[in-house]
Structure 1
Amino acid sequence: MTEAEAPTWQEQALHICAVRDASMATIKAELPDMSGDKHIARVIGVPRLRLTERDVHITESAAEDLVRQLAAGEVKAKEAALAFLRRAVVAHQLTNCIYELLHDRALGRAQELDDYLANNGKPIGPLHGLPISVKEHISVSGCENTAGFVGWAGRRKDEDASIVKILLDAGAVLYARTTEPQGLMAIETQSNITGVTVNPHNRALTCGGSSGGEAALLAFTARDTAQNQRPNKILGGSIRLPAAHCGLYGFKPSSGRLPLMGLEAYCIGSDTIAPSIGPLSPFLGGIKLFMDTVLMSEPWHNDPSLLPVPWASQAAHIHQQEKLPLVVGVMWTDGIVQPAPPIKRALLEVVDKLKSTPGVQVIDWQPFKQNEALEILKRLYSPEGGRAFMENLALSGEPILPLPAWTVRDQPGIEALDIKGLWYWTRKRDQFRYSYLKGTARLAPAPNMDVILCPAYPMPAPVHGTSRYWGYTSLWNLLDYPAITFPVTRVDREKDGQAPGYSPLNDSDRWCYDSYDVQKQKDAPVSLQLVARKSEDAELLQAAEKIQREIGLPFVDCLA
């Protein structure tokens, strides 16, 4: 084919979307017409009106409950797969969250599992028949991996990513692949391939990124535990921010806990920011089920990059036998961007409850060298100054979108580093990690601070095209600390208006202040973040579980 005959980037993108549409055609034909739903802003409850009562029951069952029903044969794996396929098609028509529906693959696998249960009288594994979804750039045998670049169209792998293999071996049924931003480099989800993915709580708002398609789909499947696996190294908050914006739980483990083989991205091989992958779920139990399942497989036997450390899921508390209080340090602000009123209110409400909770001690934790952290992050997220990103865009001629441009090229401080510059900023990273750990021990007003409670983002899900600041999440990527975001409440128009007397701290603070609008963001989920030290992943989830149980989180059901 000559250059003149080569398809344009628009034609390539249209072809990918045509494949996606074909993958959904059979299921879509079974569903009622949804053209009347297009004008609705808050669509979180629409699937309950468009699906059968049985499908709703299956897709809104808690993961642990659905696994038990599948293992007992009360729900057939094929029945569950069909229910989730239908709900995914409904979700996509409302939010544009699906990259590809794996209809035949899911039903074939589900039938195999039903036959196995019938013939053997027991489930094949701990996830027997459980439907799961993954982001597009996670390799699935025979499927395309674009990682958000039009020019990567046609790239395929002949085997599943390691994390997918583990889940399938445990009995999971892979039914969908979801959307992602251009090159994975934005905290919203928009690409020249699939367009914009929107938030089901309010379609005028972003679902976050880079795992926005997963978050939008999961918010619809409510009680599902679909798993999202992607390398957090690409952009801090790429699991946690979509989870926060869509009212879900999102967990970023420490690096070296879960396998990365088979994940595609343009900067795979760069370890300037420690990589990790992790799950999203509507419930904390889904996070625990995922971590239990993957680490029970002892993946370090097949991947030398992983720590050979079993998962401490049976421990009762971050402190054995709860002999010591759980010490929670509260970081009210990072000192760079002030949280918007609903985030402040959520923090106040959680802290107020924690202060009256036996076995919990609450202290204030001041932000520590946040400006320095951001300067390091800007250099190490894009150490070549965006050149590699632009080269991948040039493969098809597609234009760069505004938010990825800001992330990899246009943000003040980003520069193309030579080898000495890379060494310099990598050393600065290591020095910062050391000083932060020492500072935590030296400066905390109480010894043995266990976890830090803080915002995940300065505001609830923002209006499309305005998400620029990731300091509240990327800090923990720089430090390689585990972190989890969790829902607390919703935006309240009566309580969450801007307070008078605002004075901007800097340009980033002004940008976020101007981007918040209580009217436009009404009813959006309001989430917070909990963080622990490196490798204290199990302890962090135990602390999150204790806090959730003791104070009754979320205070408002964000998925209702």
Structure 2
Amino acid sequence: MVFFLDYIQHKRDCKFKQDERAERIRALAQYHGPFTAQDRDIINKPIEQLVQGVHKGELQPIDLLQTYGKVALKAHEKTNCLTEVMISAAEGWVQDGSINFSGPLAGIPVSLKDTINVGGFDSTVGYSSFVGNKPDQDGATVRLLKDAGAVPYVKTNLPITLLSFESTNDVWGRCTNPHNSKYSPGGSTGGEAALLALGGRIGIGSDVAGSVRAPAHFSGIYSLRCSTGRWPKAGFATSMPGQEGIPSVYSPMARTLNDLTYFTGALIGMQPWKYDGSVHPLPWRLEVEQEYLTKSKFRVGVMRTDGVVDPSPACVRALEITEAALKQAGHEIVEIDPPSPYEALYLGAHLLNADGCQMFKSFFRYGEWDDPGADQMDWLMRLPRPFKFLYYLWVKYVRKDDVWAGLVKDWHPKSAFENWKLVARREAYKVKWFDWWNSVDVDFLITPPNATPAVPHDGMKDAVSSCGYTFLFNLLDYACGIIPVTHVDKNLDKLPSTFNIKKLNGVAQGAYKLYDAEAMHGLPVAIQVVGRRLEEEKVLAIMKRVEDALGDDKYDLLDID
């Protein structure tokens, strides 16, 4: 009976939130309908011009809100990307003095991952048990945004557990890719990516294994994974409170590189360490940005594979396009052999789930839908150790798959002693990379962001472990940026006739089960630019240089209908 009542409450809470969202959207009569000439003008102006227009009184913040409110509702109709629709409340904030319109983001609407706390609105994280958890006051990050002049106006969809490159949950439903509704927009900040791809301006997500980078790659936008301590993270809800093995970072996302760079510099220029004690008091370093905007020749390390899942033809082609453009611009390409990325995947997976998946499972209600990837991790974690050991022996000695066998062998909850040993190995691994990078003396790396483009819905059941290209740099805490480069081409990106999935390791098999160039035709494909820890200014400047080098091959953004 207890389970039945829990399930009934789950269904009631999900219906309540979906009805509430639908009613809020219906009430926004003036936000429905086609874009006006003024809307088009606002959408096409660089962010600096919009801010200047507000400062000079030539643009009214309410006009910007009305434009981007329309954008958000149209994007939601197509992809189910929104959770909390805060537009009516935002109209009040614009009028009542809650927002500082002399700030560097004056009047700019900003979208937020559902986890970020806004006073008066829930942060469900996709769990029905979190429905009704709305705080009375804004969290520190939202206070900072309002003091900078930004207008929070919507929150965006995500996966339950936050441990997925998809964005689906019972509370809000499934978010779809803006290019192809059969595919995921990415995760865990997938709703944000879908909105930005369809015309949103700037947003904030979080990243513990690639959660602002995979969505940018899947959906065709730009994002920056900041190092810990560079971007504020106070005032949020999470599925894994207390998890410190691989710290989650909050980071910016944007439709264009210009917006991403402006937004990042503007927010750090607001001295976020005065709002959040975890932020380093490190001002935005214009001199570093300028150095890499003007440096004549780069040494570019190319990480072609993570050694676990070789990149698919589409992702190889995006990397080769970028490499050729950089060579043409006079930069030196350096073939690299870094410390084992597989070791990072092993350490990251075990550190992130050292609790045995107990914390993220503790918030579920009876009968609540679980992300298939997270469910796979939990199922294997709960498998009795004797059976798990037999499975390990079969994988290692019968299938002869050392990669998958190594991941599953010790896949159980860790004692404090075991966890400490993993942390010690993590720190030693960071030193290996530090020394290696010094020895090769490259300015930055380019890598695929993922082995494949976007995954089809529920594909994370197979691809849950295929996250090494992003997860590696969470463990290292390096600054990374995503640049969309091209689209999947069904003719150029087919697998070769000699390809044999059965010869791949278990992680790679899971990824390649989902790769189909014909079905994926038109999906975005990006590359990842990697700097070292706390090199956000450098990474953004290099992203600009890479995009300039691409020239006519620069990625075409989705049209805004």
TM-score by length of 1: 0.88
**Counterpart position of 1:405:** 375
SS at 2:362's partner residue?
helix
Question: Which ranges of structure 1 fall in alignment gaps of 5 or more residues?
Answer: 33-49, 117-122
Q: Is the 8 A contact 1:249 1:486 kept in 2?
A: yes
Q: Deviations over 1:41-67 (max 9, x none)?
A: xxxxxxxxx433432332343322322
Q: Is the 8 A contact 2:487 2:524 kept in 1?
A: yes
Question: Which ranges of structure 2 fall in alignment gaps of 5 or more residues?
Answer: 382-407
- Summarize the alignment of residues 110-259 of structure 1 with structure 2, pairs less than 5 Å apart: 110-112=94-96, 123-221=101-199, 224-230=200-206, 232-233=207-208, 236-259=209-232
| Distance across 2 between alignment mates of 1:286 and 1:552 | 19
Q: Judging changes above 3 Å, is the alpha-carbon distance between structure 1 residues 408 and 364 closer, same or farther for their aligned structure 2 residues?
A: farther
| Distance across 1 between alignment mates of 2:4 and 2:354 | 35
SS at 2:286's partner residue?
coil
Displacement of 1:451 in angstroms is 0.7
1:309 aligns with 2:282: yes
| Distance across 2 between alignment mates of 1:101 and 1:175 | 7
Letter in 2 for 1:154: G
Moved more, 50-59 or 380-389: 50-59
Displacement of 1:145 in angstroms is 1.6
| Distance across 2 between alignment mates of 1:355 and 1:93 | 42
Q: Deviations over 1:442-485 (max 9, x none)?
A: 3x3xxx21111000011211211213211110100010001111
Match of 2:301 among 329, 339, 345: 329
| Distance across 1 between alignment mates of 2:525 and 2:229 | 30
**Counterpart position of 1:387:** 358
1:12 aligns with 2:5: no
Q: Judging changes above 3 Å, is the alpha-carbon distance between structure 1 residues 197 and 184 closer, same or farther for their aligned structure 2 residues?
A: same
Displacement of 1:319 in angstroms is 5.2
- Summarize the alignment of residues 493-512 of structure 1 with structure 2, pairs less than 5 Å apart: 493-503=490-500, 504-512=503-511
Q: Deviations over 1:119-172 (max 9, x none)?
A: xxxx52111111111011100011112122111111121222222111111111
**Counterpart position of 1:456:** 449
Displacement of 1:490 in angstroms is 1.0
SS at 2:249's partner residue?
coil
Q: Is the 8 A contact 1:253 1:278 kept in 2?
A: yes
| Distance across 1 between alignment mates of 2:174 and 2:13 | 17
- Summarize the alignment of residues 434-473 of structure 1 with structure 2, pairs less than 5 Å apart: 434-442=431-439, 444=440, 448-467=441-460, 468=463, 469-473=466-470
Q: Judging changes above 3 Å, is the alpha-carbon distance between structure 1 residues 481 and 198 closer, same or farther for their aligned structure 2 residues?
A: same
| Distance across 1 between alignment mates of 2:122 and 2:25 | 16
**Counterpart position of 1:36:** none
**Counterpart position of 1:120:** none
Letter in 1 for 2:212: I
Displacement of 1:550 in angstroms is 3.0
Q: Judging changes above 3 Å, is the alpha-carbon distance between structure 1 residues 157 and 351 closer, same or farther for their aligned structure 2 residues?
A: same
Letter in 1 for 2:265: D
Q: Deviations over 1:320-349 (max 9, x none)?
A: 963x73211001111111111111111111
SS at 2:152's partner residue?
strand
| Distance across 2 between alignment mates of 1:555 and 1:384 | 44
| Distance across 2 between alignment mates of 1:219 and 1:494 | 25
Q: Judging changes above 3 Å, is the alpha-carbon distance between structure 1 residues 202 and 399 closer, same or farther for their aligned structure 2 residues?
A: closer
| Distance across 1 between alignment mates of 2:430 and 2:516 | 36
Letter in 2 for 1:225: R
Q: Judging changes above 3 Å, is the alpha-carbon distance between structure 1 residues 342 and 558 closer, same or farther for their aligned structure 2 residues?
A: farther
Q: Deviations over 1:272-318 (max 9, x none)?
A: 11332111111111121222122112122343322121111344545
**Counterpart position of 1:64:** 48
**Counterpart position of 2:76:** 92
1:21 aligns with 2:30: no
SS at 1:489's partner residue?
strand
Displacement of 1:424 in angstroms is 1.1
SS at 1:342's partner residue?
helix
**Counterpart position of 2:329:** 357
Q: Judging changes above 3 Å, is the alpha-carbon distance between structure 1 residues 402 and 275 closer, same or farther for their aligned structure 2 residues?
A: closer
Moved more, 138-147 or 305-314: 305-314
Letter in 2 for 1:149: Y
Displacement of 1:77 in angstroms is 1.1
| Distance across 2 between alignment mates of 1:188 and 1:28 | 31
| Distance across 2 between alignment mates of 1:154 and 1:419 | 34
The percentage of counterpart residues that share the same residue type is 28
Q: Judging changes above 3 Å, is the alpha-carbon distance between structure 1 residues 270 and 176 closer, same or farther for their aligned structure 2 residues?
A: same
Match of 1:279 among 236, 240, 252: 252
Q: Is the 8 A contact 1:249 1:283 kept in 2?
A: yes
Letter in 2 for 1:194: W
Q: Is the 8 A contact 1:525 1:558 kept in 2?
A: no
| Distance across 1 between alignment mates of 2:377 and 2:191 | 19
Q: Judging changes above 3 Å, is the alpha-carbon distance between structure 1 residues 556 and 259 closer, same or farther for their aligned structure 2 residues?
A: closer
Q: Is the 8 A contact 1:376 1:425 kept in 2?
A: yes
| Distance across 1 between alignment mates of 2:325 and 2:361 | 49
Displacement of 1:260 in angstroms is 1.3
Q: Deviations over 1:486-512 (max 9, x none)?
A: 110111122111122224431221222
Q: Deviations over 1:237-277 (max 9, x none)?
A: 10011111111001111101112111111322321113321
Q: Judging changes above 3 Å, is the alpha-carbon distance between structure 1 residues 134 and 319 closer, same or farther for their aligned structure 2 residues?
A: closer
Note the aligned Cα RMSD (angstroms). Answer: 2.4
Q: Judging changes above 3 Å, is the alpha-carbon distance between structure 1 residues 304 and 24 closer, same or farther for their aligned structure 2 residues?
A: same
Q: Is the 8 A contact 1:185 1:407 kept in 2?
A: no
Q: Is the 8 A contact 2:224 2:251 kept in 1?
A: yes
Q: Is the 8 A contact 2:93 2:99 kept in 1?
A: no
**Counterpart position of 2:263:** 290
Q: Judging changes above 3 Å, is the alpha-carbon distance between structure 1 residues 25 and 361 closer, same or farther for their aligned structure 2 residues?
A: same
TM-score by length of 2: 0.88
| Distance across 2 between alignment mates of 1:409 and 1:296 | 45
| Distance across 1 between alignment mates of 2:256 and 2:315 | 20
Displacement of 1:367 in angstroms is 4.6
Q: Deviations over 1:508-534 (max 9, x none)?
A: 212222211112111111101010111
Q: Is the 8 A contact 1:487 1:526 kept in 2?
A: yes
**Counterpart position of 1:528:** 527
Q: Judging changes above 3 Å, is the alpha-carbon distance between structure 1 residues 301 and 555 closer, same or farther for their aligned structure 2 residues?
A: closer
Q: Judging changes above 3 Å, is the alpha-carbon distance between structure 1 residues 83 and 137 closer, same or farther for their aligned structure 2 residues?
A: same
1:429 aligns with 2:426: yes
Displacement of 1:397 in angstroms is 4.8
**Counterpart position of 2:313:** 341
Q: Is the 8 A contact 1:485 1:530 kept in 2?
A: yes
**Counterpart position of 1:537:** 536
| Distance across 2 between alignment mates of 1:70 and 1:246 | 30
Q: Judging changes above 3 Å, is the alpha-carbon distance between structure 1 residues 65 and 202 closer, same or farther for their aligned structure 2 residues?
A: farther
Q: Judging changes above 3 Å, is the alpha-carbon distance between structure 1 residues 53 and 320 closer, same or farther for their aligned structure 2 residues?
A: closer
| Distance across 1 between alignment mates of 2:9 and 2:17 | 13
Q: Deviations over 1:198-254 (max 9, x none)?
A: 011111111000001111111111xx4322133x23xx1100111111110011111
